[in-house]
């Protein structure tokens, strides 16, 4: 890789794109599936469309600092719209496609957005009831043709692409300290807050993140984007980072076709959340358990792989032996799930189970676990390919300082910090004190300066006996169990811990299946209780059933559970466990 600093002779994100576009010209940048085939968009074409859309927004009267909402699945128009908004002096406000009318109303009211981009008619109709009471929404753009009797003009973006650029370059009116976007927190607790991220903050995060991969020679990389771009993790890692790593961006069709897209795209690196890797882990174990001979070979190779990772310098002979069988068992059966060119995986947005991470490492797939927050643009720390220390989230990235407060809270300082919460001065001051951001996470730094996350400060359970217990530690012990059930631990202000188990059901589920699942969970609770200290043991459990769509209502876009929402719904059942 070239010297990192050479890549940063720009100050704002539109400058980043325009600088790189001069070098790339007719090379493909974005890929999207159309008529069952991936179609490419060159740097030159994307640049032309960004300039056209930016010019249109200026003509429509967008002023510096005006907020513009994007409601869309990941696709080339999302990328083009985001850069065009910033180039015109506006501020992008991404919205999740899973939002309800109430969510959209909150977003419009809080951000005071003037313009909305929406990808299709279905999302438009979901959003429509929310804008009726807000006259500040002046224009609506759509990525597909929408005919609807509404008192606002709907501009079909494809018609704009037929126009010609009148000026060769746009007049960039923005500075590095100006907001680039306002990303709303997913709200695992409380009301979502609009996090203001400046060009400087994201630029600083990109410098630090590139340093992680200093020893990787990025060349003709292929990145597949499937996490929502409305989340800061994908927004930075999946949109801005590829511009600096010689990467082409392929947009996945949807989660149902993701593994088909992997085989079509052959990505060289992938960024995902822990639940994604945990689901693959369980699927692999399930597939091998169906054939006894393969299962024995699999387990034998897996145990060797773990020994090699844990005793790397002592097992040279074992390593050679392992590699022979590795090709037969793992390369063909497992690694090709991701295509044929994968270099590494990145995990963020939550805690990845130690056992799951060790499993992938043992079969030759490197998952680099990192840690970050929306408020830090987002990366704080990440493991390096040359030193992937499982059980940690790596050392702080370049330009970021981390220290641990007296109560164990992780504090972060650096140029990557947010400007603040939109319209919430009090909350901003509570979050950032003396230039240190109080993350709300509990952790420690080890002897290698690698950060270890132990829990969320707000999730800490304090029993009536005065014991402080981290529920995530106990819940993680279920992540390797072959189950789709969600297990949550409760016990705040109570004498002992209990488990609430949410069993996912569908139309084919029958009572005996549910009974089998309950029995499996109960047996696992007995097993893990032997490993837990007396105060951590699960004393009682309750089981409830939910359809997948209902479970989704309790999940953030990065698949983290909204614990307070679950407690609100099942408070009576949980309280009965103490009677």
Question: Residue ranges per domain, the chain?
Answer: 4-184+216-268, 271-340+343-457, 460-576
- Can you give the pLDDT at residue 233? 94
- Can you give the pLDDT at residue 317? 53
266: left (phi over 0), alpha (psi -120 to 50) or beta: left
pLDDT(312) > 70: no
pLDDT band at 508 (very low <50, low <70, confident <90, very high): low
pLDDT(156) > 70: yes
Instruction: State the Cα–Cα distance between residues 213 and 366, nearest whole angstrom.
Output: 13
pLDDT(510) > 60: no
Interval 62-72 mean pLDDT: 97
- Can you give the pLDDT at residue 511? 45
- Can you give the pLDDT at residue 101? 87
Number of residues assigned to the chain: 579
Interval 41-48 mean pLDDT: 96
pLDDT(314) > 60: no
The single residue listed with the structure tokens 């488990």 is 499
Fold of 271-340+343-457: Rossmann fold (3.40.50)
- Can you give the pLDDT at residue 318? 53
Note the Cα 300 to chain centre separation in Å. 34
pLDDT(444) > 70: yes
Instruction: State the Cα–Cα distance between residues 280 and 296, nearest whole angstrom.
Output: 20
- Can you give the pLDDT at residue 176? 96
The tens digit of pLDDT for each residue in 353-401 reads: 888 898 888 888 899 999 999 999 999 999 999 999 999 999 999 999 9
The tens digit of pLDDT for each residue in 511-560 reads: 447 888 899 999 999 999 998 888 899 999 999 998 887 888 888 776 77
Q: Are 186 and 213 in contact (CB under 8 A)?
A: no
Average pLDDT, the chain: 88
**Cβ partners under 8 Å of residue 71, min gap 6:** 95, 97, 99, 104, 116, 117, 118, 119, 123, 127
Instruction: State the Cα–Cα distance between residues 74 and 233, nearest whole angstrom.
Output: 13
Percent of the chain with pLDDT over 90: 60
Give the range among 91-100, 269-278, 547-556 with minimum mean pLDDT.
Answer: 547-556
**Cβ partners under 8 Å of residue 442, min gap 6:** 407, 408, 409, 410, 453, 454, 455, 456, 457, 460, 470
DSSP H stretches of helix in 197-338: 199-212, 232-235, 241-244, 258-265, 274-289, 292-310, 316-326, 332-333
pLDDT(330) > 70: no
The tens digit of pLDDT for each residue in 396-420 reads: 999 999 999 999 999 999 999 999 9
The single residue listed with the structure tokens 């977003």 is 107
SS3 99: coil
pLDDT higher for 189 or 62? 62
Angle at 461 between CA 457 and CA 467, to 5 degrees: 110
The single residue listed with the structure tokens 């009576």 is 572
pLDDT band at 463 (very low <50, low <70, confident <90, very high): confident
SS3 253: coil
pLDDT(427) > 50: yes
Instruction: State the Cα–Cα distance between residues 541 and 391, nearest whole angstrom.
Output: 28
pLDDT band at 1 (very low <50, low <70, confident <90, very high): very low
Count other Cβ atoms within 10 Å, centred on residue 196: 21
pLDDT(170) > 90: no
Give the range among 20-34, 88-102, 346-360 with minimum mean pLDDT.
Answer: 346-360
Interval 61-86 mean pLDDT: 97
pLDDT(188) > 90: no
Give the range among 56-70, 224-238, 301-315, 378-392 with minimum mean pLDDT.
Answer: 301-315
- Can you give the pLDDT at residue 574? 95
Query: Residue 200's beta-bridge partner residues?
Result: none
Best CA proximity match to 211, nearest among 383, 347, 378, 413: 383
The tens digit of pLDDT for each residue in 335-350 reads: 788 998 999 999 998 7
Instruction: State the Cα–Cα distance between residues 385 and 367, nearest whole angstrom.
Output: 9
Q: What is the 3-state secondary structure (H, E, C) of 334-397?
A: CHHHHCCCCCEEEECCCCCCHHHHHHHHHCCCCEEEEEECHHHCCEEEECECCECCCCCCCCEC
Q: Model pTM?
A: 0.84
pLDDT(324) > 60: no
**Cβ partners under 8 Å of residue 473, min gap 6:** 454, 455, 536
The reply to whether domains 4-184+216-268 and 271-340+343-457 share a CATH topology is yes
**Cβ partners under 8 Å of residue 231, min gap 6:** 94, 183, 186, 349, 374, 557, 558
Instruction: State the Cα–Cα distance between residues 7 and 287, nearest whole angstrom.
Output: 45
CATH superfamily of 460-576: ANL, C-terminal domain (3.30.300.30)
Output the CATH code of domain 4-184+216-268.
3.40.50.980
Paired tokens of 484: 């789709």
Q: In what order do the strands lie in the sheet with 486-490?
A: 486-490, 497-505, 538-547
Highest mean predicted confidence (pLDDT) among 248-252, 551-555, 574-578: 248-252
Beta strand 436-445 with 409-414: parallel, antiparallel or unpaired? Answer: antiparallel
Interval 287-311 mean pLDDT: 72
Instruction: State the Cα–Cα distance between residues 245 and 236, nearest whole angstrom.
Output: 13
């Amino acid at each position: 890789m070239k010297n990192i600093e050479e890549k940063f002779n720009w100050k704002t994100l539109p400058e980043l794109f325009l600088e790189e576009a001069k070098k790339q010209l007719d090379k493909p940048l974005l890929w999207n599936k159309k008529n069952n085939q991936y179609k490419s968009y060159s740097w030159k074409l994307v640049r032309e469309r960004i300039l056209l859309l930016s010019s249109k927004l200026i003509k429509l009267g967008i002023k510096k600092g005006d907020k513009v909402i994007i409601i869309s699945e990941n696709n080339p128009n999302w990328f083009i719209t985001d850069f065009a908004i910033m180039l015109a002096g506006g501020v992008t406000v991404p919205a999740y496609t899973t939002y309800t009318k109430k969510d959209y109303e909150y977003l419009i009211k809080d951000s005071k957005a003037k313009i909305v981009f929406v990808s299709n008619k279905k999302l438009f109709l979901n959003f429509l009831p929310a804008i009726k009471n807000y006259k500040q929404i002046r224009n609506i753009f759509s990525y597909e043709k929408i005919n609807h009797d509404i008192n606002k003009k709907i501009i079909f973006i494809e018609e704009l692409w037929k126009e010609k650029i009148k000026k060769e370059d746009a007049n960039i009116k923005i500075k590095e300290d100006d907001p680039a976007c306002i990303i709303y927190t997913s709200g695992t607790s409380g009301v979502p807050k609009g996090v203001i991220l400046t060009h400087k903050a994201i630029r600083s995060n990109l410098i630090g993140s590139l340093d992680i991969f200093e020893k990787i020679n990025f060349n003709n990389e292929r990145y597949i984007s499937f996490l929502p771009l409305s989340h800061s993790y994908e927004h930075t890692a999946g949109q801005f980072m590829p511009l600096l790593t010689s990467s082409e961006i392929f947009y996945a069709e949807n989660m149902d076709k993701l593994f088909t897209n992997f085989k079509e795209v052959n990505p060289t690196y992938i960024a995902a959340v822990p639940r994604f890797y945990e689901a693959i882990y369980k699927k692999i174990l399930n597939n091998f358990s169906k054939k006894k001979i393969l299962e024995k070979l699999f387990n034998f190779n897996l145990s060797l792989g773990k020994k090699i990772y844990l005793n790397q310098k002592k097992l040279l002979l074992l390593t050679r032996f392992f590699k022979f069988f590795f090709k037969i068992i793992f390369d063909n059966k497992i690694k090709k799930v991701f295509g044929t060119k994968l270099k590494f995986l990145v995990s963020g947005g939550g805690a990845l189970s130690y056992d799951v991470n060790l499993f992938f490492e043992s079969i030759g797939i490197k998952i680099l676990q990192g840690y970050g927050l929306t408020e830090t643009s987002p990366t704080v720390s990440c493991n390096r390919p040359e030193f992937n220390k499982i059980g940690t989230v790596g050392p702080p990235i370049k330009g970021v300082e981390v220290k641990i407060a007296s109560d164990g809270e992780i504090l972060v300082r650096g140029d990557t910090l947010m400007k603040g919460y939109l319209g919430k001065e009090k909350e901003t001051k509570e979050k950032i004190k003396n230039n240190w951001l109080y993350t709300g996470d509990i952790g420690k730094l080890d002897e290698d300066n690698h950060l270890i996350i132990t829990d969320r400060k707000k999730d800490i359970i304090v029993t009536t006996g005065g014991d402080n217990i981290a529920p995530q530690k106990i819940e993680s012990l279920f992540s390797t169990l072959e189950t789709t059930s969600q297990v949550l631990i409760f016990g705040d202000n109570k004498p002992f811990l209990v488990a609430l188990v949410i069993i996912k059901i569908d139309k084919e589920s029958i009572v005996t299946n549910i009974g089998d699942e309950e029995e499996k969970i109960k047996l696992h609770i007995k097993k893990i209780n032997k490993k837990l200290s007396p105060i951590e043991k699960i004393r009682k459990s309750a089981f409830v059933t939910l359809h997948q769509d209902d479970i989704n209502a309790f999940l953030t876009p990065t698949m983290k559970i909204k614990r307070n929402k679950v407690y609100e719904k099942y408070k009576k059942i949980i309280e009965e466990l103490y009677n």
